[in-house]
Amino acid sequence: MARGAARGRPPGRTGAAGLLAAVSALLVLPLAQGCGSPRYTYVKNSGERTYFRVPAGWNRIGQHDLDQLIAGDDPDSAAARIRPRVSWSIAYDATRPADASHLLGLGGEEQPFVYAKIQRMTDQVRDQISLNLLRDAFLPVTAQARQQAADAGQPLGDFELLRDQVLTPGGGLRGVRSVFNYRLGRQLLLQTFDVTTYASDDGHLYELVIRCSARCYRTRSGELDAVARSFTVRKH
Protein backbone atom coordinates (compact mmCIF):
# COMPACT_ATOMS: atom_id res chain seq x y z
CA MET A 1 0.00 0.00 0.00
CA ALA A 2 1.36 3.38 -0.93
CA ARG A 3 1.40 5.78 1.98
CA GLY A 4 2.03 9.44 2.24
CA ALA A 5 1.74 12.09 4.90
CA ALA A 6 1.02 15.76 4.60
CA ARG A 7 0.28 18.52 7.00
CA GLY A 8 -2.03 21.41 6.43
CA ARG A 9 -5.48 22.74 7.20
CA PRO A 10 -8.26 21.03 5.26
CA PRO A 11 -11.62 22.70 4.89
CA GLY A 12 -13.67 20.87 6.40
CA ARG A 13 -8.19 -10.95 16.65
CA THR A 14 -10.69 -10.60 16.14
CA GLY A 15 -13.69 -10.35 13.96
CA ALA A 16 -14.58 -11.78 10.54
CA ALA A 17 -11.50 -13.51 9.20
CA GLY A 18 -9.96 -12.58 5.88
CA LEU A 19 -7.13 -10.87 4.09
CA LEU A 20 -6.40 -7.31 5.12
CA ALA A 21 -6.39 -4.90 2.24
CA ALA A 22 -6.48 -1.18 1.55
CA VAL A 23 -4.69 0.05 -1.54
CA SER A 24 -4.81 3.72 -0.73
CA ALA A 25 -2.95 6.71 0.60
CA LEU A 26 -3.05 7.76 4.23
CA LEU A 27 -3.30 11.43 5.07
CA VAL A 28 -2.96 12.75 8.60
CA LEU A 29 -3.52 16.47 8.93
CA PRO A 30 -4.24 18.92 11.76
CA LEU A 31 -7.69 20.46 11.57
CA ALA A 32 -7.91 23.99 12.94
CA GLN A 33 -10.86 26.26 13.56
CA GLY A 34 -9.87 29.87 13.19
CA CYS A 35 -6.52 31.05 14.51
CA GLY A 36 -4.28 29.24 16.97
CA SER A 37 -3.36 25.61 17.41
CA PRO A 38 -5.30 22.88 15.60
CA ARG A 39 -8.17 21.39 17.57
CA TYR A 40 -8.28 18.09 15.71
CA THR A 41 -6.18 15.63 13.79
CA TYR A 42 -7.97 14.63 10.60
CA VAL A 43 -7.28 11.07 9.43
CA LYS A 44 -8.19 10.03 5.89
CA ASN A 45 -7.74 6.87 3.85
CA SER A 46 -8.34 8.39 0.45
CA GLY A 47 -8.43 5.17 -1.57
CA GLU A 48 -11.18 3.74 0.66
CA ARG A 49 -12.83 7.15 1.12
CA THR A 50 -12.79 6.66 4.88
CA TYR A 51 -12.06 9.32 7.46
CA PHE A 52 -12.48 10.42 11.05
CA ARG A 53 -11.00 12.96 13.43
CA VAL A 54 -9.52 12.90 16.92
CA PRO A 55 -8.50 15.67 19.31
CA ALA A 56 -5.14 17.14 18.28
CA GLY A 57 -3.49 16.32 21.61
CA TRP A 58 -3.81 12.57 21.13
CA ASN A 59 -0.67 10.80 19.94
CA ARG A 60 -0.39 8.39 17.04
CA ILE A 61 0.80 4.85 17.80
CA GLY A 62 3.84 3.67 15.88
CA GLN A 63 2.79 1.41 13.02
CA HIS A 64 5.23 -1.36 13.92
CA ASP A 65 3.96 -1.49 17.50
CA LEU A 66 0.35 -1.53 16.33
CA ASP A 67 0.98 -4.30 13.81
CA GLN A 68 2.74 -6.39 16.44
CA LEU A 69 -0.18 -6.00 18.85
CA ILE A 70 -2.89 -6.83 16.32
CA ALA A 71 -1.20 -9.44 14.13
CA GLY A 72 1.64 -10.70 16.30
CA ASP A 73 3.75 -11.76 13.31
CA ASP A 74 7.45 -12.41 13.60
CA PRO A 75 8.99 -9.20 12.17
CA ASP A 76 11.18 -11.33 9.89
CA SER A 77 8.26 -13.35 8.50
CA ALA A 78 6.86 -13.05 4.99
CA ALA A 79 3.49 -11.96 6.41
CA ALA A 80 5.11 -9.06 8.24
CA ARG A 81 6.92 -7.94 5.10
CA ILE A 82 3.77 -8.08 3.00
CA ARG A 83 1.47 -6.36 5.50
CA PRO A 84 2.53 -2.75 4.76
CA ARG A 85 1.49 -3.28 1.14
CA VAL A 86 -1.87 -4.92 1.81
CA SER A 87 -3.24 -3.57 5.09
CA TRP A 88 -4.39 -0.35 6.71
CA SER A 89 -4.76 0.41 10.37
CA ILE A 90 -4.08 3.38 12.62
CA ALA A 91 -4.44 4.22 16.31
CA TYR A 92 -4.25 7.22 18.64
CA ASP A 93 -3.73 7.28 22.39
CA ALA A 94 -4.65 10.08 24.78
CA THR A 95 -2.37 8.58 27.46
CA ARG A 96 1.25 9.73 27.60
CA PRO A 97 3.46 8.05 26.61
CA ALA A 98 1.35 6.49 23.88
CA ASP A 99 1.45 2.71 23.83
CA ALA A 100 -0.27 0.19 21.56
CA SER A 101 -0.99 -2.06 24.55
CA HIS A 102 -3.48 0.53 25.82
CA LEU A 103 -6.00 -0.62 23.19
CA LEU A 104 -7.77 -2.89 25.68
CA GLY A 105 -6.87 -0.95 28.81
CA LEU A 106 -5.40 -4.08 30.40
CA GLY A 107 -3.02 -1.99 32.48
CA GLY A 108 -5.87 0.00 34.00
CA GLU A 109 -5.51 2.97 31.65
CA GLU A 110 -8.34 5.48 31.97
CA GLN A 111 -7.70 7.78 29.01
CA PRO A 112 -9.21 7.25 25.53
CA PHE A 113 -7.64 5.10 22.84
CA VAL A 114 -8.89 5.02 19.24
CA TYR A 115 -8.16 2.26 16.72
CA ALA A 116 -9.34 2.03 13.12
CA LYS A 117 -8.89 -0.67 10.53
CA ILE A 118 -10.01 -1.69 7.06
CA GLN A 119 -10.16 -5.40 6.31
CA ARG A 120 -11.00 -7.31 3.15
CA MET A 121 -13.22 -10.28 3.92
CA THR A 122 -12.99 -13.63 2.19
CA ASP A 123 -15.85 -14.41 -0.18
CA GLN A 124 -17.21 -16.96 2.29
CA VAL A 125 -17.32 -14.48 5.17
CA ARG A 126 -18.75 -11.75 2.94
CA ASP A 127 -21.62 -14.06 1.96
CA GLN A 128 -22.34 -14.91 5.59
CA ILE A 129 -21.92 -11.48 7.17
CA SER A 130 -24.77 -10.40 9.43
CA LEU A 131 -25.43 -7.57 11.84
CA ASN A 132 -24.62 -9.92 14.71
CA LEU A 133 -21.24 -10.77 13.16
CA LEU A 134 -20.58 -7.05 12.91
CA ARG A 135 -21.52 -6.62 16.58
CA ASP A 136 -19.01 -9.32 17.54
CA ALA A 137 -16.23 -8.16 15.19
CA PHE A 138 -14.03 -6.71 17.95
CA LEU A 139 -15.20 -8.26 21.22
CA PRO A 140 -18.15 -10.58 21.90
CA VAL A 141 -21.36 -8.59 22.28
CA THR A 142 -24.19 -10.96 21.37
CA ALA A 143 -25.31 -13.53 23.94
CA GLN A 144 -24.13 -16.42 21.77
CA ALA A 145 -20.65 -14.95 21.28
CA ARG A 146 -20.30 -14.15 24.98
CA GLN A 147 -21.27 -17.70 25.90
CA GLN A 148 -18.71 -19.08 23.46
CA ALA A 149 -16.07 -16.80 24.99
CA ALA A 150 -16.99 -17.96 28.49
CA ASP A 151 -16.84 -21.62 27.42
CA ALA A 152 -13.37 -20.96 25.99
CA GLY A 153 -12.22 -19.46 29.30
CA GLN A 154 -11.70 -15.94 27.98
CA PRO A 155 -11.34 -13.42 30.84
CA LEU A 156 -14.32 -11.20 30.00
CA GLY A 157 -16.54 -10.06 32.85
CA ASP A 158 -19.18 -7.54 33.92
CA PHE A 159 -20.61 -7.09 30.44
CA GLU A 160 -23.15 -4.28 30.05
CA LEU A 161 -24.70 -3.23 26.73
CA LEU A 162 -25.16 0.54 26.77
CA ARG A 163 -26.12 1.21 23.16
CA ASP A 164 -26.94 -0.79 20.06
CA GLN A 165 -27.71 1.12 16.88
CA VAL A 166 -28.17 -0.21 13.36
CA LEU A 167 -26.52 2.08 10.80
CA THR A 168 -27.90 2.45 7.27
CA PRO A 169 -25.76 5.03 5.44
CA GLY A 170 -26.57 3.57 2.01
CA GLY A 171 -24.13 3.23 -0.85
CA GLY A 172 -23.75 -0.51 -0.36
CA LEU A 173 -22.95 -0.19 3.35
CA ARG A 174 -24.63 -1.54 6.45
CA GLY A 175 -23.37 -1.41 9.98
CA VAL A 176 -23.83 -1.22 13.71
CA ARG A 177 -22.59 0.93 16.53
CA SER A 178 -22.37 -0.87 19.86
CA VAL A 179 -21.29 0.68 23.15
CA PHE A 180 -20.63 -1.75 25.98
CA ASN A 181 -18.71 -2.26 29.20
CA TYR A 182 -16.26 -5.05 30.03
CA ARG A 183 -13.86 -5.80 32.83
CA LEU A 184 -10.99 -7.63 31.15
CA GLY A 185 -8.82 -10.07 33.02
CA ARG A 186 -8.06 -9.03 36.58
CA GLN A 187 -8.05 -5.30 35.98
CA LEU A 188 -9.84 -3.15 38.52
CA LEU A 189 -11.26 -0.60 36.11
CA LEU A 190 -14.40 -1.22 34.13
CA GLN A 191 -13.75 -0.27 30.50
CA THR A 192 -16.18 1.11 27.93
CA PHE A 193 -15.83 0.21 24.25
CA ASP A 194 -17.58 2.24 21.56
CA VAL A 195 -17.34 0.22 18.34
CA THR A 196 -18.65 1.23 14.91
CA THR A 197 -18.43 -1.45 12.20
CA TYR A 198 -19.52 -1.33 8.57
CA ALA A 199 -19.60 -4.06 5.92
CA SER A 200 -19.70 -3.16 2.23
CA ASP A 201 -21.22 -5.07 -0.64
CA ASP A 202 -17.78 -5.38 -2.21
CA GLY A 203 -16.44 -7.31 0.78
CA HIS A 204 -14.71 -4.74 2.99
CA LEU A 205 -15.00 -4.38 6.75
CA TYR A 206 -14.51 -0.93 8.29
CA GLU A 207 -14.12 -0.55 12.04
CA LEU A 208 -13.54 2.24 14.54
CA VAL A 209 -12.93 1.30 18.18
CA ILE A 210 -12.89 3.79 21.06
CA ARG A 211 -11.75 2.49 24.45
CA CYS A 212 -11.90 4.45 27.69
CA SER A 213 -12.55 3.61 31.31
CA ALA A 214 -16.26 3.67 32.13
CA ARG A 215 -15.76 6.73 34.31
CA CYS A 216 -13.77 8.46 31.58
CA TYR A 217 -16.43 7.62 28.99
CA ARG A 218 -19.19 9.15 31.12
CA THR A 219 -17.14 12.27 31.79
CA ARG A 220 -16.07 12.76 28.17
CA SER A 221 -19.14 11.34 26.46
CA GLY A 222 -19.69 14.36 24.21
CA GLU A 223 -16.09 14.39 23.01
CA LEU A 224 -15.97 10.65 22.37
CA ASP A 225 -19.37 10.59 20.70
CA ALA A 226 -18.09 13.26 18.29
CA VAL A 227 -15.12 11.04 17.41
CA ALA A 228 -17.44 8.09 16.75
CA ARG A 229 -19.85 10.16 14.65
CA SER A 230 -16.98 11.54 12.58
CA PHE A 231 -16.19 8.04 11.27
CA THR A 232 -17.37 8.14 7.66
CA VAL A 233 -17.13 5.69 4.78
CA ARG A 234 -18.27 6.73 1.31
CA LYS A 235 -18.50 3.97 -1.25
CA HIS A 236 -20.07 6.04 -4.05
The band of 66, judged by pLDDT with boundaries at 50, 70 and 90, is very high
pLDDT score of 83: 60
**Strands 40-45 vs 232-233: parallel, antiparallel or unpaired:** unpaired
CB atoms within 10 A of CB 194: 23
**Taking all residues of the chain, what is their mean pLDDT, rounded to a whole number?**
83
Q: How far apart are CA 228 and CA 208, in angstroms?
A: 7
How is the beta sheet containing 26-31 ordered, strand by strand? 26-31, 40-45, 50-55, 232-233
The CATH number of 26-233, from 3.40.605.10, 2.60.40.10, 3.40.1360.10, 3.40.1000.10, is 3.40.1000.10
Contacts of 200 (CB under 8 A, 6+ apart): 172, 173, 206, 233, 235
pLDDT score of 18: 32
Q: How far apart are CA 42 and CA 21, in angstroms?
A: 21
Q: Average pLDDT of 212-234? A: 97
Whether the predicted pLDDT of 174 surpasses 70: yes
The band of 25, judged by pLDDT with boundaries at 50, 70 and 90, is very low
Least confident of 70-84, 126-140, 170-184: 70-84
The band of 45, judged by pLDDT with boundaries at 50, 70 and 90, is very high
**Strands 232-233 vs 156-170: parallel, antiparallel or unpaired:** unpaired
User: Domains of the chain: which residue ranges?
Assistant: 26-233
Nearest to 114 by CA among 216, 1, 6, 18: 216
What is the amino acid identity at position 190? L
**Three-class secondary structure of residue 154 per DSSP:** coil
Whether the predicted pLDDT of 2 surpasses 50: no
Contacts of 175 (CB under 8 A, 6+ apart): 134, 166, 167, 168, 169, 196, 197, 198, 199, 206
Percent of the chain at pLDDT > 90 equals 60
Whether the predicted pLDDT of 152 surpasses 90: yes
pLDDT score of 36: 59
pLDDT score of 28: 58
CA angle 50, 91, 5 (to 5 degrees): 65
pLDDT score of 135: 97
Nearest to 236 by CA among 174, 167, 170: 170
Contacts of 104 (CB under 8 A, 6+ apart): 184, 191, 211
DSSP secondary structure string for all residues of 32-66: --SSSS-SEEEEEETTTTEEEEEETTSEEPPHHHH
Percent of the chain at pLDDT > 70 equals 78
The band of 150, judged by pLDDT with boundaries at 50, 70 and 90, is very high
Report which DSSP code applies to 101. Answer: G
Report which DSSP code applies to 106. Answer: T
